[in-house]
Chains A and B, each alone.
Chain A
């Protein structure tokens, strides 16, 4: 247990971020070494930046839930359900974007609230509750959508689309939104009293209660944030492809969870890092895009994820002490 006082002293709270960053650099170097022509061209980075914001925005909310000592597995279904609310309203109202957004956000938040209430008020396990909700919500979504693919080519030249998912030079506009949302949520997680209460909820809820912190409300708000972010991701995803299909959430589960853990947020709750999440999401999306770009079979992606998750957990443990247990 003796502390070594030699070498550079890195403040405790930056260690997970630095760990995630080192891991990213190592992975990138490996990619570059294996196929330099692909990974030294700008194209691959544009491809990464296209989808990275969606995974990162989703992952940001997962950092809150995880730090609060819970887990949410329902988001892959909240994305298409709130997305359906968006797409349906667009069709019904002759592309009333504002109304569609509001309805989508309401649906997303409602799903989150429901999860939050089930977990905190009924005291159910969040793992099982949200897993069940994931099935229930995708079922509901499929029943309502009835297999329809909804396309919105009319949106293609609209201002709203170019602001949200257009591009500034080689950088997709959604990158800007990702950075903005990360900064806001980062401030809240690390500097706002709500963020502190979230971390206390995951570390020692009794300590929070003894000091008058409303732990239940804190947790419910975390699940609600997941619903909100899922709705944002749904909207951006639909705009990006100008198409809605009810399987749009399927690809999110593993990459988003991987981003959280690779980013240095421990499963055990009580702490987390927003900066780490963004780096973790970048790592994960890079593997996804990189494997394909390097001409490898898509099956390698799963293998890559698996390796990255396990290796990064080991790395974080070495680096910042107990992260995993």
Chain B
């Protein structure tokens, strides 16, 4: 990982009133790497993703550096234009519409009068779904989302995130509230994202999931980074032990 980071956060802080959601965050995201971001409820994981993806601004003193250049007036539109895509915790899908309509929502392929080129969108959706390993005998891009399982819905959201050459895909709790097989499906999607050259930020409360996909771990506690290091030869048990160590520091009694 000697190459330059896609996104670099320098001394980023974020407070809501007198709650410090993030304190002095210094963090780099490199190409082709899956970072598992873990931490307790309210640790600041979602806040961190919102700052990277431009939906929330950091407090004034911090810096966001993209491709070695500091960015100003960072917004979600700008982030998307620079190849940073977020899959939100609630997935943000319109369930009554088709898969391809959801994938292209807000970025439809149209003729110059605004009519949707369905054929092209459907083909592209098939390609995207294949890329992340989302193959189904039952569902086609024309199926409506409300028929799909949780894992499959996540697949739709992830397909959408890799549209238009995105480089860094942020997944906020993509496996939460999912059955084991569904979660396994999503983990498969995530590994395939990496194979197709994307960087991933993977947020999870499930240490096994977080361990399975990661190249690197970042542990957040109460708005601070308490651990940032490569997975290396760390086993799932080692990782869980590490999590316990930091969690214990917070619990007094």
Which residues on the A side are within 8 Å of B92 (C-beta)?
A: 204, 206-207, 210-211
B94 within 8 A of A: yes
Decide if A207 touches B93 in the complex (CB within 8 Å). Answer: yes
B108 within 8 A of A: yes
Residue of B with least CB distance to A11: B142
B64-107: CB near A (< 8 Å → 1, else 0) gives 00000000000011000000000010101111110001100111
Q: Is the CB of A204 within 8 A of B93?
A: yes
State whether B96 touches A207 (Cβ < 8 A).
no
Is there an interface contact between B96 and A196, defined as CB atoms closer than 8 Å? no
Mask of A12-54 contacts with B, CB within 8 angstroms, 1/0: 1000000000000000000000000000000000000000000
Q: Mark B99-130, 1 if CB is under 8 A from A, else 0.
A: 00110011110100111101000000000000
Across the interface, name the chain B residue whose C-beta is closest to A1.
B147
Supposing A12-B144, A203-B96, A271-B96 touch, asked if A211 and B114 sit within 8 A by C-beta, the answer is no
Provide the residues of chain A in CB contact with B118, threshold 8 Å: 191
Q: How many residues of A sit at the interface, in one of the four size bands? A: 20 to 34
Residue of B nearest to A5 (CB): B138
Q: Give, as a whole number of angstroms, the nearest-CB distance from A53 to chain B.
A: 25
Residue of B nearest to A204 (CB): B94
Give chain A nearest CB distance to B192 CB in angstroms.
23
CB distance from A268 to the nearest CB of B (A): 9
Residue of A nearest to B101 (CB): A196
Query: Once the chains bind, are A191 and B116 in contact (CB under 8 Å)?
Result: yes
Contacts known (A12-B144, A211-B107, A212-B77); A193 close to B114, Cβ less than 8 A: yes
A292 to B34 alpha-carbon distance, docked (Å): 72
A194 near B: Cβ within 8 Å? yes
User: B105's contact among A192, A211, A271, by CB below 8 Å, is which?
Assistant: A211
Given the known A-B contacts A193-B108, A212-B77, A213-B106, are A200 and B97 also in contact in the complex, defined by CB atoms under 8 Å? Answer: yes
Assembly CA distance A271 to B101 (angstroms): 13
A215 CB to nearest B CB, Å: 11
Q: Contact string, A188-203, partner B, CB cutoff 8 A, digits 1/0?
A: 0001111010011001
Asked if A241 is at the interface (CB within 8 A of a chain B CB), the reply is no
With most chain A CB atoms within 10 A of its CB, the pick from B77, B110, B116, B143 is B116
The reply to whether B116 and A192 form a contact with Cβ atoms under 8 Å apart is yes
A276 lies within 8 A of chain B by Cβ: no
Kindly report which residue of chain A lies nearest to residue B138, judged by CB atoms.
A3
Instruction: Report the Cα distance A200→B95, complex, angstroms.
Output: 9
Rounded to whole Å, the gap between the CB of A219 and the closest CB of chain B is 15
Most-contacted residue by chain A among B88, B106, B108, B113 (CB, 10 A) = B106
Residues of A within 8 A of B107 (CB): 211-212
On chain A, the residues within 8 Å of B116 by CB distance are: 191-193, 196
Would A270 and B94 be within 8 Å (CB), given that A196-B105, A208-B106 are in contact? Answer: yes
Name the interface residues of B128-180: CB closer than 8 Å to any CB of A.
138, 142-144
Sample of 17 more A-B contacts, CB < 8 Å, known A187-B115, A204-B95, A208-B105: A11-B142, A12-B143, A12-B144, A191-B116, A191-B118, A192-B113, A192-B115, A192-B116, A193-B110, A194-B114, A196-B97, A200-B97, A203-B96, A206-B90, A207-B94, A208-B106, A270-B97
7 interchain residue pairs of minimum CB distance: A211-B106, A270-B96, A207-B92, A210-B92, A212-B106, A193-B108, A200-B94
9 CB < 8 A contacts A-B: A192-B114, A192-B116, A200-B94, A204-B94, A207-B94, A208-B106, A210-B88, A212-B77, A212-B106
